[in-house]
């Protein structure tokens, strides 16, 4: 059953998210699709919040009723690559299939383009086997652009990825009254 979208919010991380963070950053089912390794202790989680989440250029905690149950990260390019950024996300498995990631990305995408005024292209690279993530991107309005064969290593495996993008021009026109 879908979670009421009004309960889903995004906010920066706090040190008090440490226990909630372990629900997803401490779960191999989530991190196997991500570049970073599964956190194994509360100390690791605290360090991760201090050294990765808080200083990050654009990382938000996905919250239900203000409790952290997932994350969205956006890595903007620098210099001449400021026009593009890469998006990644994850949700604690107990909340999968309830519309959380879809609603969180629907909130995040316009906010990212607002916060990064140089941004033209937001892109996502998804393991071809990761059907849930592809479905989320499709529901949020990303375009599937193509297949990148044996594109990069992820957790020691050389993987085929689909690349998706959302452009600044993909927003529906604003109604004027």
Ligand X SMILES: CC(C)(COP(=O)(O)OP(=O)(O)OC[C@H]1O[C@@H](n2cnc3c(N)ncnc32)[C@H](O)[C@@H]1OP(=O)(O)O)[C@@H](O)C(=O)NCCC(=O)NCCS
Binding positions for ligand X, rule: CB under 6 A: 30, 33, 88-91, 95-102, 124, 126, 130-133, 135-136
How many angstroms separate the CA atoms of 127 and 137, rounded? Answer: 13
Q: Is the Cβ of residue 70 or residue 76 nearer to ligand X in the bound state? A: 70
55: CB partners within 8 A, 6+ apart? none
Least distance (Å) from ligand X to the CB of residue 29? 7
Q: Is the Cβ of residue 12 or residue 93 nearer to ligand X in the bound state? A: 93
3-state class (DSSP) for residue 109: helix
Place of tokens 């690559």: 81
Q: Is the Cβ of residue 15 or residue 132 nearer to ligand X in the bound state? A: 132
Q: Is the Cβ of residue 118 or residue 145 nearer to ligand X in the bound state? A: 145
Calculate helix-pair angle for 100-115, 131-140, nearest 10 degrees: 50
How many angstroms separate the CA atoms of 107 and 7, rounded? Answer: 12
Least distance (Å) from ligand X to the CB of residue 23? 11
């Amino acid at each position: 059953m879908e979670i009421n979208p009004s309960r889903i919010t995004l906010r920066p991380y706090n040190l008090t998210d440490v226990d909630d963070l372990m629900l997803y950053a401490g779960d191999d089912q989530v991190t196997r699709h991500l570049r970073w390794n599964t956190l194994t202790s509360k100390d690791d989680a605290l360090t991760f919040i201090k050294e990765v989440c808080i200083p990050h250029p654009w990382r938000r905690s996905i919250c239900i009723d203000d409790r952290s149950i997932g994350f969205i990260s956006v890595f903007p390019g620098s210099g001449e690559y400021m026009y593009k950024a890469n998006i990644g996300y994850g949700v604690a498995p107990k909340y999968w299939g309830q519309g959380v990631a879809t609603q969180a990305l629907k909130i995040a995408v316009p906010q990212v383009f607002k916060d990064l005024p140089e941004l033209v292209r937001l892109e996502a690279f998804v393991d071809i086997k990761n059907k849930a993530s592809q479905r989320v991107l499709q529901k949020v309005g990303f375009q599937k652009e193509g297949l990148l064969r044996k594109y990069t290593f992820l957790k020691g495996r050389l993987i085929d990825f689909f690349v998706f993008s959302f452009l600044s021009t993909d927003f529906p026109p604003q109604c004027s009254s």
